[in-house]
Chain A
Amino acid sequence: MNILVCIKQVPGTTEVNIDEETGVLLRNGVPSKMNPYDLYALECSLRLKKHYGGSVAVISMGPPQAEAIIKEAYMMGVDEGYLLTDMAFAGSDVYATAYALAQAIKTLPDVDCIICGMMTTDGDTAQVGPEIAEHLNIPHASYIKEIHEVHSDHIEVTMDMDKYAAEMKIKFPALLTVTSTIGTPRLPSYILGKKTEDKIVNRITLKDLNDQDPDHYGITGSPTQVIDIFPPDHTQISTTWEGTSKEIASNLADDLIHRKIVMR
């Protein structure tokens, strides 16, 4: 089975601050890292390869520095890596990101299964995977917690929804997003790192895609626009309720209802 994993480089911490004057994100010089949820997608793919053979490739869309996470994927045992990078992609929202990734995937050798992380820690949308699948016109299933068996033309999985789990069969080619119960990610191996030191990361740019109209990518290709970013209201609730126990009890009851902790 040939698998393609979508991985993304994210800031090393979510403890970001905003410059109140300029509204610019301050990332405090924290180095970037691989989106932690994508490590599960990688682990799952590498286990499938061990069991069923085939290959595992990764693709990432991002700036040239994102090459680092592809090198890291090589150190975990990935066979091939692609970096989709071009100024034209800057400022992409979910739609434009998924469109660009789908365009790039169409230029790669055919795969049976695309595996994505459940979500990213910077965007936290969990939407890119399903939108890639739609652009490629292939079925997708989100929140896969277990893979049971791989057949020549389909895969058997369990999907974890809030209120139920569904066992299902999905025809190839398919896209899955996997949860963290799929298996603990392996660490990058020093030996593999040595071996893949010089292994190239394949670059894909706008001119390699079928649709080369720059207006379909990046900010202009993005239906959503970020008007503003601002820090959340950090005025920490810090209230003391004193007085008779009756008063305190009704404060508590009212607050639990108001916050919809208790439904009525």
Chain B
Amino acid sequence: MAIIEIHQQQGKDLEEIAEVCPFDAITIIEDSLVITEACKMCKVCIKQYPEIFSLEEETSRSVLTDRYKGIAVIAEHHEGDLHPVTLELIGKARELGAPLGYRISVLIIGYEVGTLAEELLEYGVDTVVLYDHKALKDMLIEPYTNIIEEFIEEYRPSTVLVGGTSIGRSLAPRAAARVHTGLTADCTVLTMQPNGDLDQIRPAFGGNIMAHIRTPNHRPQFATVRCKIFDSPKKVEVKTGQIITKRPTVQQLKSRIEISSIHIKKKITSIEDAEILVAAGRAIRTPADMALIEKFAEAIGGMVAGTRPLIESGLIDPRRQIGLSGRTVKPKVIITCGISGSVQFVAGMKGSELIYAINTDPEASIFGLAHYRLVGDLYEIIPQCISQLQRGL
């Protein structure tokens, strides 16, 4: 593959020369012409100004990979806390980058987030680039994209990782398109070749197919990454990284979107929306039994639901009934406690991603469906599980 070389000229109107590019791929940086990633090799510039632009039959690949090094993570935070996915990405970035000697940088954008920038250093980040401005308090797509663009131009990371959150999945495509590169959405596996090529694996067709994707001839390689796939890194003993504070320009802050108000979401109140459910069945007979289930749900951050008999006995609110005559749920995790697994109940929860079933009866039909069959007495298993979880904290 070929690249376009620039022979810098003195005393010419650089603006006019840059104008020749139909893709706006020629910019002027510190009084010299620079060809950006937007270049589509249309060669119009060579035709117009053969004395300035020439074709070099070198592989653009090596030039590209030489120019782009390191891994960047775009940080996400909410109400003064870093999003867990940001830490997961830093951990992954460090693991991917170590064999190549890559530096890890994190871009954090927000208002009064200096302490979060400090916190990022504790996870072994080399450079934290901080844009702190009142106008950047909430995610505004245009200013945020402008800043990511500037960050990429300045730091030229080979790979950019973004959390697969709703913010990440709105921002990453905009930024990737801005710098004319590819983006792989919702990756679940990432590995890196010795030459810096990122192997990205993601589910498609609702998880029925896995696709292995690479971005061989473009940099940076952009990926959004599913939450809770990778481990958070341990904090480092000594912080060695540094924070670079940047100032957004008025131009960068321009937005055609104005946020009128922000409503922080309350806790989820319907079992259909819950990611984790603890479902109680007829093995639960008294309010005291119920208290154990509630305590367990709290310990694992889940919501309580139940079978019809528990609704009928008044132990559980009718809106929390799972099944044919109740609600259909598809949580990431459901733990059924003392539930036999009648067809009517199963009809409402068979789409659950991961099913743990606790039942004393090894023949209980719920075990035909469960991924993990816990054969035993819930009144013994659950309290011990709760105390184990709490001991670890």
B-binding residues in A (CB < 8 A): 11, 14-18, 25, 93-95, 98, 121-131, 133-135, 138-143, 156, 160-171, 174, 211, 213, 215-216, 222-232, 236-242, 245-246, 248-253, 255-257, 259-264
Contacts and interface: CB of A to CB of B under 8 A. Distances in A.
Contacts of A227: 199, 212-214
A41 to B, nearest CB: 16
Given A168-B257, A239-B372, A230 B262 contact: no
B352 interface: no
B259 interface: yes
Given A131-B173, A167-B259, A248-B376, A232 B207 contact: yes
Interface string B71-108: 00000001100001000000000000000000000000
A124 B206 contact: yes
Contact of B261 (A162, A166, A216): A166
Given A14-B206, A250-B384, A140 B372 contact: no
Interface string B364-382: 0001000111111100111
A221 B139 CA distance: 30
A166 B300 contact: no
A126 B169 contact: yes
Nearest to A94: B183
Interface residues of B, number: 85
A95 B180 CA distance: 8
Given A121-B205, A213-B42, A241-B375, A126 B185 contact: yes
A248 to B, nearest CB: 5
A169 B166 contact: no
Contacts of B263: 164-167
A24 to B, nearest CB: 11
B302 to A, nearest CB: 8
B174 A131 contact: yes
B257 A139 contact: yes
A94 B258 CA distance: 28
A225 B216 contact: yes
Specify the main secondary structure of chain B where it touches its partner: mixed
B392 A130 contact: no
Interface in B180-209: 180-186, 199, 203-209
Contacts of B185: 94, 124-127
Interface in B233-265: 255-265
A162 B258 CA distance: 19
Contacts, number: 248
A232 B212 CA distance: 11
A264 B393 contact: yes
The secondary-structure label for the interface of chain A is mixed
A133 B149 CA distance: 16
Contacts of B261: 166-167
Given A122-B205, A164-B262, 12 more contacts: A15-B208, A98-B177, A124-B204, A125-B186, A135-B177, A166-B261, A229-B212, A231-B210, A241-B374, A241-B375, A245-B380, A261-B276
Contact of B217 (A143, A216, A223, A236): A223
Contacts of A250: 384-385, 388
Contacts of B40: 213, 215-216
Given A14-B208, A167-B259, A245-B376, A134 B264 contact: no
Interface in B306-343: 332-333
B176 A131 contact: yes
A130 B177 contact: yes
Contacts of B214: 224-225, 227
Given A127-B169, A127-B173, A16 B209 contact: yes
Given A131-B176, A232-B208, A232-B209, A262 B301 contact: yes
B219 to A, nearest CB: 9
A242 B369 CA distance: 17
Contact of A162 (B165, B209, B217): B165
A209 B42 CA distance: 16
Contacts of B301: 261-263
B209 A18 contact: yes
